[in-house]
Amino acid sequence: MDNQQFETKAIRTQTARSPHGEHAAPIYTTSSFVFEDAEDARAQFANEKEGDIYTRYSNPNNNELVEKLCAMEGTEDGFATASGMAAMFTSLAAFVGQGDHVLASRSLFGSTHQILTQILPKWGVSHTYVDVSTPIEEWEQHIRPETKMIFVETPSNPALDILDLEALAQLANKHGIILNVDNCFATPYLQNPAKLGAHIVTHSATKYMDGQGRTIAGVILGKAELIEKVRFFGRHTGPALSPFNGWIISKSLETLAIRMERHCANALDLAQTLESHEEINWVKYPHLPSHPQYELAKKQMKLGGGIVSFEIKGGVERGRRFLDALQMLSLTANLGDSRSIATHPASTTHSKLSPEERLNVGITDGLIRISCGLEHIQDIMADILQAIEVSAEVQA
Ligand SMILES: *Cc1c(COP(=O)(O)O)cnc(C)c1O
């Protein structure tokens, strides 16, 4: 198995066949599992023998998902959760407590920001944010004796800034702290933080892993001794993934590689076209040579990802008119779907921040984020180009 390619592991990692000899894995919708006898029950509870006891602890569908993702990310062990946020919270809460400190990049998913600023402080855990533009050498001055974790996302949402994971891992190792990377935007197909030195890799599996906007799921992957702590916390606090959702995500991973190839090809094509459009101020895409961290993005990511950000001329109002003019693209709070999605962060997800706070995370008033789907690129492009045109006309 170990020498198989990524695509093969994604397809051939499968839970053991039942006596029925099914080809595709069945869904194990059971709350608990039966012990062979009293001694078996005692040994499993004593952790002397491996086995599934109760679905809050483990389940064949979730075990398959975790084993598969470990093979795809290059990690030793993992724990599947009911949502991406359950993964983010569990991966923090399992390691920090009263008096501890987390160093994080400022550009984080909205709910992760709420955990760090509103929830963990209630339990005496503080944090410091560093702008993504800060050189890694300068992150070191914010590390304190009580710093337990560095938490980052790369590429960042929605500005698509790139952080140097190898440099961050060196910094974390020097200080004996955990580097936790939310790898949702890149997926294991484009970027493997653990291979660059990250100790924990977290995902919202809701996005590209599902890939069709059907379900919510998350996963925490990493070194075995760290996942031991995550598993203890997860088993007793109950963020377990439903086996049905675990089955959906595991089946979807069989096509992750080919889907990401197309998502990325469509996104690159769109980014290149928009870059020369006169109604667009700038386009941000990790694998466009105009991206400020193009070299790093090329080194760290196999392809540029499925998300394109650009600034349309005319600020907040033009951004809103652009969304209203779209005919095919969906206006919805998701990404990584087979259907293309447009969002305008300044008037929606980030509207509660001040304009200055928005600029700190790279969000200008006219910024539009496109999650490039799997429709034909000509149709995606045609809808965006006509919306640019229609939204400009109203302005005159
Ligand atoms: C969506 C998302 C999350 C949260 O995941 P859910 O599955 O919605 O709970 C966390 N991080 C990033 C980067 C995301 O895009």
In whole angstroms, how far apart are CA 71 and each of 3, 76, 222?
A: 10, 8, 11
**Ligand 1 centroid – CA 92 distance (Å):** 15
**Ligand 1 centroid – CA 109 distance (Å):** 7
pLDDT greater than 90 at residue 96? yes
In short, whether 77's Cβ falls inside 6 Å of ligand 1 is no
Per-residue pLDDT band at 355 (split at 50, 70, 90) = confident
Mean pLDDT of 146-152: 98
**Ligand 1 centroid – CA 110 distance (Å):** 9
Per-residue pLDDT band at 395 (split at 50, 70, 90) = very low
| Percentage, residues of the chain above pLDDT 90 | 90
In short, whether 182's Cβ falls inside 6 Å of ligand 1 is yes
Least confident stretch, 1-10, 295-304, 348-357: 348-357
Per-residue pLDDT band at 360 (split at 50, 70, 90) = confident
CATH superfamily of 257-395: Aspartate Aminotransferase, domain 1 (3.90.1150.10)
Ligand 1 atom nearest 206 alpha carbon: 7
| Percentage, residues of the chain above pLDDT 70 | 99
Strand 147-153 with 341-343, pairing? unpaired
Give the model confidence (pLDDT) of 328-351 as tens digits. Answer: 999 998 999 999 999 999 888 888
**Ligand 1 centroid – CA 185 distance (Å):** 9
In short, whether 153's Cβ falls inside 6 Å of ligand 1 is yes
Domain boundaries, the chain: 6-255, 257-395
Least confident stretch, 206-210, 241-245, 359-363: 359-363
Give the residue, by CA position, lying nearest to ligand 1 atom 6: 84
Per the prediction, the chain carries an average pLDDT of: 95
**Ligand 1 centroid – CA 85 distance (Å):** 6
Per-residue pLDDT band at 194 (split at 50, 70, 90) = very high
**Ligand 1 centroid – CA 84 distance (Å):** 5
Give the model confidence (pLDDT) of 23-53 as tens digits. Answer: 999 999 999 999 999 999 999 999 899 999 9
C-alpha closest to that of 55 among 27, 83, 36, 77? 27
Ligand 1 atom nearest 336 alpha carbon: 15
Could you give the CA distance from residue 161 to residue 293 in angstroms, rounded to a whole number?
Answer: 7
Residues 6+ apart with CB under 8 A from 85: 111, 112, 115, 204, 218
Give the model confidence (pLDDT) of 245-292 as tens digits. Answer: 999 999 999 999 999 999 999 999 999 999 999 999 999 999 999 999
C-alpha closest to that of 241 among 60, 75, 13? 60
Q: Residues in the chain, how many?
A: 396
Mean pLDDT of 124-147: 96
**Ligand 1 centroid – CA 90 distance (Å):** 13
Per-residue pLDDT band at 81 (split at 50, 70, 90) = very high
- Do domains 6-255 and 257-395 share one topology? The answer is no
pLDDT greater than 80 at residue 1? no
Asked if 9 and 64 count as a contact pair (C-beta separation under 8 A), the reply is: no
pLDDT greater than 60 at residue 396? no
Ligand 1 atom nearest 205 alpha carbon: 7
Q: What is the 3-state secondary structure (H, E, C) of 11-50?
A: HHCCCCCCCCCCCCCCCCCCCECCCCCHHHHHHHHCCCCC
Q: What is the dihedral of CA 316, 321, 327, 328, to 10 degrees?
A: 0
Mutate to test the pocket of ligand 1, among 108, 207, 216, 220 (most ligand atoms within 8 A of CB): 207
**The domain made up of 6-255 is a member of CATH 3.40.50.300:** no
Give the residue, by CA position, lying nearest to ligand 1 atom 2: 204
Per-residue pLDDT band at 243 (split at 50, 70, 90) = very high
Asked if 384 and 370 count as a contact pair (C-beta separation under 8 A), the reply is: yes
Mean pLDDT of 156-172: 95
pLDDT greater than 60 at residue 79? yes
